[in-house]
Structure 1
Amino acid sequence: WLFFCLLLPFPPARASCPHPCHCTGHSGAMAVLCSAKHLAEIPKDIPKDAVFVKLDANKITQVPNNAFKHLNHLEELDLSRNAIEKIDLAAFRGVADGLRTLDLSNNLIQRIPKEALVKLNAKIRLSNNPWHCECALQEVLWEVQLDPESVSEITCQTSVREEYVGKPLIQVLDSGVNFCSIHQKTTDVAMFVTMFGWFTSARVHQVYTARHNQEDARKHLEYLKSLPSTQVPKETISTVL
C-alpha cells in the first residue's frame, strides 16, 4: 500500500500568501490584499496566479526591476498612497500584456523613465505626485495610456520654467507649450555659450602670445644695440626690425 500511495499524483500545493497580506479567490484568479500593512518594499512571494494586487497605503519607496515578472496573470496593480520616489526601467517587465490598471497616484514621484511604462497596455494613474515638468515627462505622457479621470490632477510642482509651477500639466500643454522644444533651445544656447567661451579663450591666448613675442623681440633688439657696434652686423639689426 505504501508503494501504491507513492505512485498516486499529489494535488499541487497552494501558493502561500505573503505575510501580513490577505489572499482570497481560487487557483488562477487570486486577489492579494496588502493595503496599509506597513510594508517597506514589494513582497517577493506574491502568488504566481495573482490577478489583483493591492499594495496601497504602505511605505514602499521604490519599484525595482522585475518586481512583478513572475505574475503572468496580473490585471490590476495598486501602488497608490506610498512613498515611491524611484521606478526602475524594467520595474513592470513581465506584466505588459495582461495588465489593465496601474495606480501610481499619491506618491513622491518626480521623474519616471518612459521605458518603464511604454510597453504597458494598462490605464495608468499618475495623479498627485510632485512632478518636475520637463521634456522627459511630456514624452511619457505622449507614450502611455492615462486614466482620463486623473489627467487634470497631474500638476507641476517644479518645472524648467518658473511660470508653470503649480499648474496642471495638461493645461500647460494645451496652451501650446512644448517642453521638448524648450529643452532643445536651452541645449542650443548652452552649446553657443560654450563655443563662444572657447573662441574667446583662444583669441585671448593668441593676442597674449603675439604680445609676448613682440616683447621678446624688443628686448633682443635692445640687447643687440647695447653691444659694441663692431660686434653687431647691420644686417642683423635690420632683420630684427
Structure 2
Amino acid sequence: MCESYIFFCRLHVALFFGSVLASACPKSCLCSEKNGLVVVQCASRNLEKIPSDLPRDTVSLLLSSNHITKIPGQAFKNLPRLQELDLSRNSIETVEAGAFQGLSEGLRVLDLSNNLLRSVPKEAFARLQAKIRLSNNPWHCECTLQEVLRELQLDPETVNQVSCHTSIQEEYAGKPVIQVLDSGINFCNFHHKTTDVAMFVTMFGWFTMVIAYVIYYVRHNQEDARRHLEYLKSLPSTSQANKDFDVVSTVL
C-alpha cells in the first residue's frame, strides 16, 4: 500500500513537471528535462529567428540547420544556466554587439560554424569563456577580425577551418586566419597604412585642384590684362590729339 502511494506520488510529480515543461517549451521545439536541467531541441525546424519563449533553466539550446539570419542583442538574456548553444548551419550574417549579453561564464560551447559571417563586432563575445567554433564562414580578414580572434578561445579541432574568404591583402585569401597571423602579419598595421595612403591621395587631390585653380585664375587675368592693354593702344595718344587740335586752330 505504501509503495503504491509513493508510486502515484512520483507519477503525479512527473506529470506536473512535464506539463509545466511542455507549457514553457516553444511550440516549434522539443524539450526534455533531467534533474532540473532542460535541453531544448530546435534543430531543423525551419526557424527564421531565435525563439523568445525559452525555459529559463535551459542548459542546452540546439538551433542548428535552420534559416536564422541574425542574432539580435540580448537574444539569450534569460538563460543564465545555458552551457551549450548550437547555431551552426544557419544563414547568420549579422551578430549584434550585445547578442550574447546575459550568458554567464558557465557557457562551455558556442557553435557558429557553417554560416554567412564576414565580420563580427569585438564586443559581441565579451566575457565569454566558452570554446567557440567559427569555421566555414566567409570571413573578411582585416583588423576587426584579428582583434576578435585575439580575445576568443577557439575550438582547437576547428581552428584551422577559420579561413580568409577575402582579405584587405588579396594574397591571404583562402588561407587559415591563424596561420596568417602566426606568420607575423598584422592586419591592423596594414589598415593604418591604407588609411594613410588614402589620406595622402585625398590631400594630393585637393592640392592639385588648388594649383589648377590658381593657374586658371592667373591665365584668365593675364588674358583680361592683354585685352585691356590692346584697347588702350587702340585709343589716340594725347600728343596726336594735341597736334590735330593745333592744325584745326591754324586753319581757323
Instruction: Tell me if both proteins adopt one fold, taking TM over 0.5 as the criterion.
Output: yes
Counterparts of residues 45-194 of structure 1 (less than 5 Å): 45-194=53-202
Q: 1:96: Cα distance to partner?
A: 4.4
The alpha-carbon deviation at position 26 of structure 1 amounts to 4.8
- Stretches of structure 1 that go unaligned for 5 or more consecutive residues are 1-10, 232-241
Q: Higher Cα Rg: structure 1 or 2?
A: 2
Deviations 1:70-112 (A, max 9, x none): 1122121110111111111111111143322211011111111
**Deviation string, structure 1 residues 166-215 (Cα, Å, up to 9, x no partner):** 11111111221111111111111111111111111101111111111111
Question: CA RMSD for the aligned pairs?
Answer: 2.0
- 1:23 maps to 31
User: CA shift at 1:58, angstroms?
Assistant: 1.3
Deviation at 1:127, TM superposition (A): 0.8
Which ranges of structure 2 fall in alignment gaps of 5 or more residues?
1-15, 240-252
Q: What secondary structure does 2:201 align onto?
A: helix
| C-alpha distance after superposition, 1:147-168 (max 9, x if no partner) | 2222111011111122111111
Identity of aligned residues (%): 60
What SS class does the counterpart of residue 215 from structure 2 fall into? helix
Match of 2:228 in 1: 220
Please, what TM-score do these two structures have when normalized by structure 1?
0.86
177-186 vs 11-20, which deviates more? 11-20
Asked if the contact 1:118–1:140 (Cα under 8 Å) also holds between the matched residues in 2, the reply is: no
Q: Provide the rounded CA distance (Å) in 1 between the counterparts of 2:104 and 2:131.
A: 12
**Secondary structure, counterpart of 1:148 in structure 2:** coil
What residue identity is the alignment partner of 2:25? C
Q: Is the 8 A contact 1:28 1:50 kept in 2?
A: no
SS at match of 1:149: coil
Figure out how many residues of one structure are paired with residues of the other and give that number: 222
TM-score scaled by structure 2?
Answer: 0.82
User: For residues 212 and 176 of structure 1, do their structure 2 counterparts lie closer, same or farther at Cα, with a shift above 3 Å needed?
Assistant: same
